[in-house]
Amino acid sequence: MHEWWRNAVVYQIYPRSFQDSNGDGIGDIPGIVSRLDYLAELGIDAIWLSPVYKSPGIDNGYDIADYQAIDPQFGTMADMDELIAEAGKRNIRIIMDLVVNHTSDQHEWFKQSRRSRSNPYRDYYIWRDGKNGVAPNSMQSTFSGSAWQEDSRTGQYYLHLFSAGQPDLNWANPKVRQAIYRMMNFWLDKGIGGFRMDVIDLIGKDPDHEIRENGPHLHDYLQEMNAATFGRGDFMTVGETWGATPSIAQKYSDPSRHELSMVFQFEAMQLDQEPGKEKWDTRPLQFDQLKAVLNKWQTQLDYRAGWNSLFWNNHDLPRIVSRWGDDGRCRVASAQMFAILLHLMRGTPYIYQGEEIGMTNCPVKSIAEVDDIESVNMYNERLAAGEAPAALIAAINKVGRDNARTPMQWADVPAAGFTSGQPWLHVNQNYHKINVAAAMAAPDSVYATYKQLIKLRHDEPIITNGDYEPIDSVPEAVMAYYRTYQKTRWLVVANLANAEATINLPDEIEKVLITNYSAVPATLINATLAPYQAFAVAVR
């Protein structure tokens, strides 16, 4: 198996917050072009570009009004072509965000659709009659409240699994599917590297039976899409699949089924959520659960019949170093520990902008400072239900999406070098210390670790192809595993806690591959690990 994405490292860009080029405070495509040399130096192979299409922006671009136009805030189609070309010169492919579970309510299809029950576009969306003056059923929106919106023009309700400004497309309609495939081919013909597929597990939904994820026709649609579009070339496709299990992941990504290259699933990232409650209702992370889930995915998704993504962060998640590490005194060591632990596993790693310099969460004091629609809707809903504002702000500071969306911190200059104007969202004030310029100048920075890990993956086939074997005989706060390929055996050890731990392993160290402390223990017999210490060594 030789597909390029198997040993690739992907870097996610959230365009609004990456680099502004014209002083309007909003990151844009020319800004990204100006930073390509930085990304080439880091060593990444592909950019997952969050949406830059024409959009009213109520969900920051995940509400698309025109799939084949660039939003003027981000630039022009000529800028986009230049980005693809300039990235290509640096061997970086552009992975476009494909948001086709829903459109914006400003999309021409929806404007037509809502006009009358007999409009030719009516069936592009999901319309139902209400039941005695209320919504057709009890389906809920991910962004709070009912998933059904009554539309006065025709008296029917339309389905929106996200906000009312994001009506769900009707994938059961073959015309919808063909229109989407044409649009996908437009982008593939431009020379992009593939697609990241937003909430793709929802497209097979069965609203009348309240089935959201993994609906009955999901995999038929993906096979049809593959045959009609990217199946013709060496493209990378990654499906956002919140609730996948290893066996569901295999359905998406077994090469013989001709669906997607890989899944992007969140089982580990939901471990600090109270079971049966919402993402806002958190509990402390249990190390044994994190280890069990990571090990499960490494051992149960057979690499010959499936492929997984490796990530700690994206634009929907809080920053890992604040979430499960230490964003204070041990920020650097804990950020490096998470990187080493994850990047030596099998799968395709994703780095979310700023992760490579250990950017942290950015707490706010009041709801007025919050931009994210999900956070704002939750706040209003729970406030109305009688919850205390302070507790809601605390929840937003812990897991709200704006934590990941504050501007990229380039240097210790005004607005962190993100813009010469007024940034659309506040800059984290720790930019004086945490910034790209400082990280690139320090040999032991988080940046240096990421750069080294990317190079290791490109140089050492054991990371992509080696067997994986979890090690059980370590303390609860330590995660350790072996990778084995031909005659080579690597041991990876990570102390997840802000406390010393002792390990006792029989292996003899042959060579140090990477470490976040200046030295690794001389022997692994009764070896003491420092807080957040992590390393990989070749062993005999």
The rounded distance, in Å, linking the Cα atoms of 470 and 474 is 10
Give me the helices (H) in 280-388, please: 287-300, 320-323, 331-343, 373-384
Q: Does 224 bind ligand GLC (CB under 6 A)?
A: no
Question: How is 438-456 classified by DSSP, letter by letter?
Answer: HHHH-TTSHHHHHHHHHHH
Sheet holding 509-515: strands in order across?
A: 467-470, 478-485, 488-495, 534-539, 509-515
Q: Which of 201, 240, 272, 402 is catalytic?
A: 240
The rounded distance, in Å, linking the Cα atoms of 202 and 476 is 36
Binder of residue 316, out of ligand GLC, Ca ion, none (CB less than 5 to 8 A by kind):
ligand GLC
Q: HEC string of 369-395?
A: HCCCHHHHHHHHHHHHCCCCHHHHHHH
Pick from 299, 271, 296, 294: which is nearest to 283 by CA? 271
Q: Does 99 bind ligand GLC (CB under 6 A)?
A: yes
Q: Does 198 bind ligand GLC (CB under 6 A)?
A: yes
CB contact at 8 A, 267 and 293: yes
CB contact at 8 A, 393 and 362: no
Q: Does 62 bind ligand GLC (CB under 6 A)?
A: yes
Structure tokens at 91: 């061997």
Q: Does 110 bind ligand GLC (CB under 6 A)?
A: no
Number of amino acids touching Ca ion (CB under 5 A): 5
Shortest Cβ contact with ligand GLC: which residue?
Answer: 62
Q: Which of 28, 198, 224, 374 is catalytic?
A: 198
Structure tokens at 358: 């250990």
Q: Which of residues 160-189 bind ligand GLC (CB under 6 A)?
A: 162
Please identify which residue in 8, 9, 10, 26 interacts with Ca ion, judged by CB under 5 A. 26
Binder of residue 224, out of Ca ion, ligand GLC, none (CB less than 5 to 8 A by kind):
none
Q: Which is nearer to Ca ion, 28 or 374 (CB)?
A: 28
Q: Does 24 bind Ca ion (CB under 5 A)?
A: yes
Binder of residue 24, out of Ca ion, ligand GLC, none (CB less than 5 to 8 A by kind):
Ca ion
Q: Does 105 bind ligand GLC (CB under 6 A)?
A: no
Q: Which is nearer to ligand GLC, 34 or 377 (CB)?
A: 377
Annotated active-site residue 198? The verdict is yes
Q: Which is nearer to ligand GLC, 315 or 331 (CB)?
A: 315
Q: Which of residues 276-335 bind ligand GLC (CB under 6 A)?
A: 315-316
Q: To 10 degrees, what angle do helices 174-189 and 218-228 make?
A: 40
Q: DSSP label at 356? A: G
Q: Does 264 bind ligand GLC (CB under 6 A)?
A: no
Please identify which residue in 10, 139, 199, 434 interacts with ligand GLC, judged by CB under 6 A. 199
The rounded distance, in Å, linking the Cα atoms of 113 and 173 is 13
Shortest Cβ contact with Ca ion: which residue?
Answer: 28
* Binding region for Ca ion (CB under 5 A) out of 20-28, 124-132, 394-402, 501-509: 20-28
Annotated active-site residue 374? The verdict is no
Minimum distance from CB of 16 to ligand GLC (Å)?
A: 12
Strand partners, 94: 47
Question: How is 475-527 classified by DSSP, letter by letter?
Answer: -TTEEEEEEEETTEEEEEEEE-SSS-EEE---PPEEEEEEESSS---S-STTE
Q: Which is nearer to Ca ion, 23 or 243 (CB)?
A: 23
Minimum distance from CB of 436 to Ca ion (Å)?
A: 19
Q: Does 28 bind Ca ion (CB under 5 A)?
A: yes
Strand partners, 531: none
Structure tokens at 189: 């013909």
Minimum distance from CB of 199 to ligand GLC (Å)?
A: 5
Q: Does 71 bind Ca ion (CB under 5 A)?
A: no
Q: Does 59 bind ligand GLC (CB under 6 A)?
A: yes
Contacting residues toward Ca ion, per CB under 5 A:
20, 22, 24, 26, 28
Q: Which spans of this chain sit near ligand GLC (rule: CB under 6 A)?
A: 59, 62, 99, 162, 198-199, 240, 315-316
The residues annotated with a catalytic role in the active site are: 198, 240
